[in-house]
């Protein structure tokens, strides 16, 4: 028998600045000379929608309307962990459920149903679609069982759940637990989160480059030389994260002022430094489609700047537009050229 139902929405996330600094900052456990990781992360306007219900029997049920499939099994630690470790479409939700029921006694004897009835977040485009599902699962338990989780605790549980699967996400991905832009700082195992102020409405476009990239190879190539560099080439990768700190601090102030022009300039500068310090480490980071879009003559008068998203490569780009009308024009041009586009609005802090 089911009890009352609740509606839930969890966005994806886009890293505005600071890609790769989350895992790099984690290496400070062994090498404190590596700079801390600094990322500025914003929730997307797209995400996962669900109806959640408490069940009186100890059943974990997840229904995915977008995937036209469902999972239902006993609320059992071993069974949930087995599904998580096997991978597959329900591994993420099983991993989070396992983490929660193994840590909180309030759930024993009862169950939960999560009906993911709508998803408008693209997958495998650097927008943390898998993290969104993990956060959705953690938030569902929190809402139904009144567990009193903070946003940071939800982020931690979602991360632990996802890392029990074959996925090897970064801790930054789970920032979709927050409903506003944040600055995240990574220092070994420690993470701090600062909510950011936005001075004026800002208008971004997320551009699906309709190409492909190998994230596993990018991460493997970039991780060579961490935590200890063995030559000047690898030391150069370490140096990038000092530059990243400077960019992140300037971007924080530009966002606080709502200065779209400065945000655009910083995005251009960040991409230039990324190309100089990190891109030589991997063939995947040459990203010809990304660079052709960022430099496309037809859109220049409508934008202030842009850069890559996520691990880099030819997955997605982000550009900041001069106004909402300018975004419509840039989107029209890019769509005509067969690129996919999503709007990202950063609203003025009220």
Over residues 84-133, the pLDDT tens digits come to 999 888 999 999 999 999 999 888 889 999 999 999 987 766 677 888 99
What's the pLDDT at 172? Answer: 83
Cβ atoms of residues 270 and 17 within 8 Å: yes
Confidence at residue 3, expressed as pLDDT on a 0 to 100 scale? 58
User: Which pLDDT score is estimated for 75?
Assistant: 93
Residue 344's CB is within 10 A of a number of other CB atoms, namely: 21
* Of the candidates 342, 348, 284, 314, the residue with the CA atom closest to the CA atom of residue 12: 342
The CATH class that applies to domain 2-195 reads alpha beta
Distance CA 139, CA 67 (A): 21
Q: What is the CATH number of domain 202-346?
A: 3.30.70.890
Domain coordinates in residue numbering, the chain:
2-195, 202-346
Q: Which of 123, 145, 143 is nearest to 135 (CA)?
A: 143
Residue 43 tokens read as 């929730």
Give every residue of the chain whose pLDDT is below 50, as ranges: 1-2
């Amino acid at each position: 028998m089911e009890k009352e139902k609740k509606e839930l929405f969890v966005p994806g996330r886009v890293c505005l600045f600071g890609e790769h600094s989350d895992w790099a900052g984690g290496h400070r456990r062994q090498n404190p000379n590596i700079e801390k990781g600094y990322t500025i992360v914003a929730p997307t306007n797209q995400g996962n929608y669900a109806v959640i219900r408490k069940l009186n029997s100890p059943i974990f049920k997840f229904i995915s309307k977008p995937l036209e499939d469902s999972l239902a099994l006993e609320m059992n630690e071993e069974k949930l962990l087995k599904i998580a470790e096997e991978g597959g479409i329900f591994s993420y939700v099983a991993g989070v459920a396992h983490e929660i029921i193994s840590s909180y006694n309030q759930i024993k004897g009862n169950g939960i149903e999560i009906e993911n009835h709508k998803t408008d977040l693209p997958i495998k485009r650097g927008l943390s679609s898998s993290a969104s599902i993990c956060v959705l699962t953690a938030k569902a338990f929190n809402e139904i069982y009144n567990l009193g989780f903070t946003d940071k605790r939800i982020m931690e549980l979602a991360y632990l759940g996802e890392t029990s699967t074959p996925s090897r996400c970064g801790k930054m991905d789970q920032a979709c637990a927050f409903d506003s832009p944040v600055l995240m700082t990574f220092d070994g195992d420690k993470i701090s989160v600062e909510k950011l102020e936005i001075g004026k409405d800002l208008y971004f476009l997320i551009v699906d480059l309709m190409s492909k990239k190998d994230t596993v190879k990018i991460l493997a190539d970039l991780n060579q030389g961490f935590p200890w560099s063995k030559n000047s080439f690898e030391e150069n990768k370490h140096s990038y994260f000092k530059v990243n700190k400077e960019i992140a601090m300037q971007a924080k102030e530009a966002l606080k002022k709502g200065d779209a022009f400065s945000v655009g300039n910083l995005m251009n500068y960040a991409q230039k430094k990324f190309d100089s310090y990190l891109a030589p480490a991997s063939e995947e980071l040459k990203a010809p489609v990304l660079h052709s879009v960022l430099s496309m003559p037809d859109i220049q008068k409508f934008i202030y700047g842009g850069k890559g998203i996520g691990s880099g490569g030819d997955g997605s780009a982000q550009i900041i537009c001069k106004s909402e009308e300018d975004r419509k024009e840039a989107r029209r041009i890019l769509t005509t050229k067969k690129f996919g586009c999503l709007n990202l609005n950063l609203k003025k802090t009220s």
